[in-house]
Amino acid sequence: MTPEEYKNKKLDLYRNITGDPNFDKESVLNDELCERCEGACCKTFPCTFSPYDFVDIDDFEYMKSILDTGYFVISYYYEEDECIYYIRAKGLNDRGVVAKSKAKPNECILLGEKGCQLDFYSRPTLGALLEPKSNKLFMCCKHRYSMDQLTKDWLKYQQQMLKLKKYYLFKKRVPNKGKIYKLERIIRQDEI
């Protein structure tokens, strides 16, 4: 998939989630507020992907190529009595490729000096749709990708996630800091 095709795919996803047919990245990006924030959300917990962020979530080898970078993990949480598996960016406290969601702070490893190291369209949907807002006292970003929507989206892909979880359960992947520039191409699948 070319960068332009992937960008259009992501814009369609964002327009669907937000219900805004005119959505573009300027709808949520505010460099001034983000710079003042200094990554408060990113220092709390890594962002979650939508299953539709990926070119083909049903392609086991493609998903392995993403998880093998060491920058992302399979995580899970409980919705009532059901365990929901999903993919998110790796946090500094995560040790393996399968990592439980944690309540304590778990800074995202993709947080750089100027914010997320991934370009806007390669970021996890939760982070790309985080709309910075500020009042006089503190930052209070608006989440445009809700937990209800996230759960609904990932429920359809639990079989694929269980297969990946089984493969990675006891494996560890350490991110290769020299390959951060390739992440966008791997996600778009124009590098593999």
Contacts for 45 with CB less than 8 Å, ≥ 6 apart: 91, 101, 102, 105, 106, 108
The CA radius of gyration of the chain, in Å to the nearest whole number, is 16
Give the pLDDT score at 154: 95
Give the pLDDT score at 162: 95
Dist. CA 98–CA 67, nearest whole Å = 10
Give the pLDDT score at 23: 84
Q: Of 120, 158, 164, whose CA–CA distance to 31 is shortest?
A: 120
Contact 139, 62 (CB under 8 A): no
Residue 89 phi/psi, 5-degree rounding, is: -65, 155
Q: pLDDT tens for the chain, 192 residues: list them.
A: 788 898 899 999 999 998 989 888 777 676 666 666 777 778 888 989 999 999 999 999 999 999 988 899 999 988 888 899 999 999 988 888 988 776 678 889 998 877 788 888 888 998 888 776 665 555 567 778 888 898 899 999 999 999 999 999 877 766 665 566 566 667 776 654
Dist. CA 73–CA 92, nearest whole Å = 11
